[in-house]
Structure 1
Amino acid sequence: MSGISGVDLGAAVVDRLAAVGISEVVLAPGSRNAPLAFAVWARELDLHTRIDERSAGFLALGLTKVGARAAVICTSGTAVANLHPAVLEAAHAAVPMVVVSADRPTRLMATGANQTTDQVGIFGPLVPTYDVADLADLDAVPWDTPGPLHVNVRLDEPLVPGALVSRLASLAPQPAAVAAELARRVGRSEERAEPVSRRLPLGPRTVVVAGDDAGPRARLLAEKAGWPLLAEPSSGARRGSQALRTYRLLLGTDLGAEIERVVVFGRPTLSRPVTRLLARSDVEVLVVPGRGVWPVRPPGSRELEGVPDADLDDPAWFARWKEADTELGRRIDRLLTGEPTLTPYDVAAVVAAAMPAESLLVVGASSPIRDLDVMAPSAPVAEHRLVIANRGLSGIDGTISTAIGAAIGRRRTSRAVALMGDVTFLHDQSSLVLGPDEARPDLTIVVVNDDGGAIFSMLEQGAPELAEPFERLFGTPHGADLASLCAATRTAHLRVTSRPELEQALASPNGGIEVIEVVVDRTGRRDLDARIRALASAPA
């Protein structure tokens, strides 16, 4: 036996979580983590229970991404490994979620004890891990790490607390002011600005690139200098007068060739044209230090010391971009209006138009966020619309759970919507399995169902000469009945096939979690994209 019982160590860990500002706890049940589970129950923290660790991890990720500091607790063995996708996403996006894994005491390691493996460092060198076997180990944990933190707790018997539950329930909580201050220090803010520390010289034709999680700093610089703002939907900067809707397409025109300097904020991941821009030898690339284990630092770029400032530059430069952006947007809209069937671009446009002030939009990887990038106009600054996506590693896994967590965590949200593809939905459908006592936010999940992976048809794999093996290797048609899947979890479902139907469905939410399945055809997607790209270089 170790010097401290599992129930006492579990209680101490949960007390420490509350003390550092953890307000939300996601629990995946198990035997070894029972002391932690009972302590959470007695502490009266906001508890969310999930049967699947992968779903639990992404729920904690979603909660933390919108500012509600969260921890996910799991048992030992393969349970810990199932958290890895969410932890990797958190590491690359610098999301400070906390992973608490239960483990056997040290004396049982390498003895063949059931469900025992080496959990210390299981997430690799990107995530700091602290092995906790007693209170002294617990005191050594730095809870204010900028990214995910793994606390591996070695819990010895007894694992069932008995009278400890009533004792913990009587404990006074941490003062609200202390918890709020700790959460503020380590949490994420939707609107954060930093002091100016560098003034950029005027002259070079400059654009501001705002990738995922860039925040308002990118917008503020672009507005002050009068530069074009190339902002991804989840950048937090696609607002105000400088943000351009069709920048990705305009980069391939003569206007894009004139760029001489780029200031980069956040993590741009959506666009090959942006990647090519940052790799150009004739362009000066200045990077504002970002977050994540591998922040964006293109070869040959220079890192700025803090947040830059600039005076108003040549207004004619932005005027040319604005005129081109407005005209190209009109051309795209006219083209789509003439299409015989509903397209994924239509879906993105309708969803963007349906988001009111103070709303939350969670966007899945692959095609939906890129479609939104082309179709979503700049939002008014004062409306505080929040768009988030898992762009640290840009995986499709855990998107439903991330959206549920974000919808629960952002308490002032006027409307919460998730936009994703059918493969993304199928990948995380188990996250719709919620117990009767679990929080069910008002969340509308819009699923663009083209029966497979449309993203690949737009890449090299979708070339006409590869048509024969494409469907089996990349198209992956599944024929899944989404209505039946939703019925199995008692999730409301509606199937639409036209733009008016989608607009009406989004205008009339029923409350709770509901799925709107939008049926589209992907057979002409490659050709449609080619025609849209051609509009950028076509004469006026």
Structure 2
Amino acid sequence: MSSSRCAGTIVAQLCAQGVTDAVLASGSRSAPLALALASAEAEGRLRLHVRFDERSAGFLALGLAKASGRPVPVLTTSGTAVGNLLPAVMEAHHSGVPLLVISADRPAALVGVGANQTTDQARLFQPFVRWSARVSSMASETSWAAQTARACVLAAGVGSCNPGPAHLNVELDQPLVGGEVALPELAAVVRESSGGSVAAPLVAGPRTVVVCGDAPVAVGRQAAQVARSGGFPLVAEPSSNARDEALRTGSLLLGSALAAEVQRVVVFGHPTLSRSVNRLLARDDVEIIVVSAAPEWPDAGWRATRVVSALVAAEPDDSGWLRRWQAADALLSARVDELVAGQPVLTGPAVAAAVVASVGSGVLMLGNSQPIRDADLATASSVTPDCSHSGGGSLIQDAEVLPGTGARVFANRGLAGIDGTVSTAVGVALASGEPVTLLCGDLTFLHDANGLAAGLGERRPDLRIVVADDSGGSIFATLEYGDVRYADSFERVFGTPPGVDPVRLAEAHGIPVRRVEDEASLTAALHRPIQGLDVVVATIDRAGRRALNAQLNALANLVD
């Protein structure tokens, strides 16, 4: 009876978000939503207005939204019923009115195969809506409320000052009715306005971790400031620009017993790198607060309940909370170093550590796939902890080492692909006017080899490209597909050894290049000044990559 539960959750979340009026044009596929709206009206949660003409229903909802200033949903069944809402949606778009279209639909698998009353209605209102989403009764239940809340917030223009229509296309599977239960009591997702310069406070109390994903320098600094002033552990991705004050082994520690004690997470940037972070953000026993000045916000776990544009951390209640994480990080860091140093051949983590150390306070670009994950365990040097902060008492005085490079770090983490990495690094170098180091894998390098070429008379960057050459895609060995049961197919369909020598390719472009096969040679190559474009190819062995990754993850189990 997932369709009934889905419909009830959607309507309950509408009420939680402050919806007071809803308009219904009846139909069959929309039956679960119609019954849920009727129940909501019977319980006094909203007023329901029923019309038989969808075009009229759309403009009725428009008028209600225009006069109230609140999002007003208009609900229809599938097919041409949805198309009749287009004039009202267009008017709402150009008038800035928070109209919310909720269209019932069949499951996506039935669209385009001749099923009754189906069409491609999920994209019907582009480009007139502020946001649209497909909601499936067969998806995770947490997504139903989260998508509904997001639609209300974005339609209202909170955080964007740009109200307008939004669209939820709700795919409902059979049985449509039966098993109805009381509408749940849900909490609103609060999006605090980005207007003004006063940051929102963070109430002291819950044991908190700050997570910073891919982010520009300003956002990374804000994440570090909140962690510092609140006495919170900071788990930051390599391209977060917050690594100076972050736990070096944060992603590994989130697989330890310490993670079970986390009660609240404050999220900055766009976290995409670590499965342990994703698991934390999806937990139903953790409060998720997202800091984002953009109209939309990251919430892949569907658990965020508060979204703010800026945040000031309160003085911590438990000064020992951070010290426990720092002590565990120091212990785990030593074990990581010991494990990596004990490998008989040059490894990805060793290459990443050498590259990060060589950059210092310069500019670093990280390729996706395995190299950026190897850089996630890298630390450049020990730095003196800064024990000053905006709160009271010393928060990090017991820390011996804080990892970090002070570097500005870039990566294409928007969609986390390997496309155009070399060209992006060239652009970073030309725009910054500083020497840049790029760390990438051999497939990433080959994929954008044309980025090495530029016409006569074009500006040349000061860029060093370090290619971690493992003759293929080592990241797949660390995932499910690297299991022995897929061994017969692994090399061809996942490992994909290219059979191309990156050294020869660089030479063909007339670029200085050298191959290194041990840490000493790599360190020597990296300490040469960066003048113009050059390439360093580090030979690494991916045969033991899966085992090494398992050993690294197992180290977290040794932390109390």
- In structure 1, what is the Cα distance between the partners aligned to 2:266 and 2:338? 33
SS in structure 2 opposite 1:239? helix
Q: 1:216 aligns with which of 221, 233, 241?
A: 221
Q: 1:300 aligns with which of 299, 303, 306?
A: 303
Q: Which amino acid aligns with 2:232?
A: W
CA change 1:510–1:316 in 2 (3 A) is closer
Q: Which amino acid aligns with 1:272?
A: R
Offset, 1:426: 0.4
- In structure 2, what is the Cα distance between the partners aligned to 1:215 and 1:294? 16
User: Aligned residues: percent identity?
Assistant: 46
Show the counterpart of 1:473: 493
Is 1:385 paired with 2:390? Answer: no
Show the counterpart of 1:238: 243
- In structure 2, what is the Cα distance between the partners aligned to 1:125 and 1:467? 46
Offset, 1:464: 1.1
CA change 1:509–1:459 in 2 (3 A) is same
CA change 1:496–1:301 in 2 (3 A) is same
Q: 1:279 aligns with which of 279, 282, 286?
A: 282
Which stretch shows the higher mean deviation, 366-375 or 309-318? 309-318
Q: 1:345 aligns with which of 341, 345, 349?
A: 349
SS in structure 2 opposite 1:478? coil
Show the counterpart of 2:552: 532
Deviations 1:506-527 (A, max 9, x none): 0013511101000001011000
Please give the residue correspondences for 1:187-336 in structure 2 after superposition, counting only pairs within 5 Å: 195-213=197-215, 214-240=219-245, 243-289=246-292, 291=294, 295-296=298-299, 298-313=301-316, 314-336=318-340
Offset, 1:294: 6.2
Is 1:455 paired with 2:446? Answer: no
- In structure 2, what is the Cα distance between the partners aligned to 1:484 and 1:127? 50
Deviations 1:264-315 (A, max 9, x none): 0110000000000000011010111254866446312123332121222121
User: Is the CA contact 1:285–1:300 (under 8 Å) kept in the aligned structure 2?
Assistant: yes
SS in structure 2 opposite 1:522? coil
Deviations 1:424-483 (A, max 9, x none): 000000111112211111111000000001111111111111111111110101121212
- In structure 1, what is the Cα distance between the partners aligned to 2:423 and 2:295? 21
Show the counterpart of 2:427: 405
Show the counterpart of 1:436: 456
Question: Which structure's CA Rg is the greater one?
Answer: 2
- In structure 2, what is the Cα distance between the partners aligned to 1:378 and 1:196? 36
SS in structure 1 opposite 2:359? coil
Please give the residue correspondences for 1:104-123 in structure 2 after superposition, counting only pairs within 5 Å: none
- In structure 1, what is the Cα distance between the partners aligned to 2:128 and 2:457? 35
Show the counterpart of 2:513: 493
CA change 1:220–1:451 in 2 (3 A) is same
- In structure 2, what is the Cα distance between the partners aligned to 1:361 and 1:293? 28
Deviations 1:362-383 (A, max 9, x none): 0001001111011235886997
Offset, 1:196: 4.2
User: Is the CA contact 1:267–1:296 (under 8 Å) kept in the aligned structure 2?
Assistant: no
User: Is the CA contact 1:419–1:447 (under 8 Å) kept in the aligned structure 2?
Assistant: yes
User: Is the CA contact 2:290–2:308 (under 8 Å) kept in the aligned structure 1?
Assistant: no
- In structure 2, what is the Cα distance between the partners aligned to 1:394 and 1:245? 22
- In structure 2, what is the Cα distance between the partners aligned to 1:293 and 1:263? 16
Q: Which amino acid aligns with 1:463?
A: D
- In structure 2, what is the Cα distance between the partners aligned to 1:510 and 1:536? 37
CA change 1:458–1:292 in 2 (3 A) is farther
CA change 1:297–1:217 in 2 (3 A) is farther
- In structure 2, what is the Cα distance between the partners aligned to 1:366 and 1:127? 34
Aligned length in residues: 350
Show the counterpart of 2:166: none
Show the counterpart of 1:190: none
CA change 1:311–1:293 in 2 (3 A) is closer
Q: Where does the alignment leave 5 or more consecutive residues of structure 1 unmatched?
A: 1-120, 129-144, 146-193
TM-score by length of 1: 0.62
- In structure 2, what is the Cα distance between the partners aligned to 1:460 and 1:538? 23
- In structure 2, what is the Cα distance between the partners aligned to 1:304 and 1:312? 20
SS in structure 1 opposite 2:498? coil
Q: Which amino acid aligns with 1:321?
A: W
Q: Which amino acid aligns with 1:365?
A: N
User: Is the CA contact 1:266–1:290 (under 8 Å) kept in the aligned structure 2?
Assistant: no
CA change 1:126–1:435 in 2 (3 A) is farther
Show the counterpart of 2:417: 395
TM-score by length of 2: 0.59
- In structure 2, what is the Cα distance between the partners aligned to 1:383 and 1:335? 22
Q: Which amino acid aligns with 2:410?
A: I
Q: Which amino acid aligns with 1:406?
A: V
- In structure 2, what is the Cα distance between the partners aligned to 1:203 and 1:293? 28
- In structure 2, what is the Cα distance between the partners aligned to 1:425 and 1:506? 18
Cα RMSD after superposing both structures: 2.6
User: Is the CA contact 1:362–1:389 (under 8 Å) kept in the aligned structure 2?
Assistant: yes
- In structure 2, what is the Cα distance between the partners aligned to 1:354 and 1:369? 16
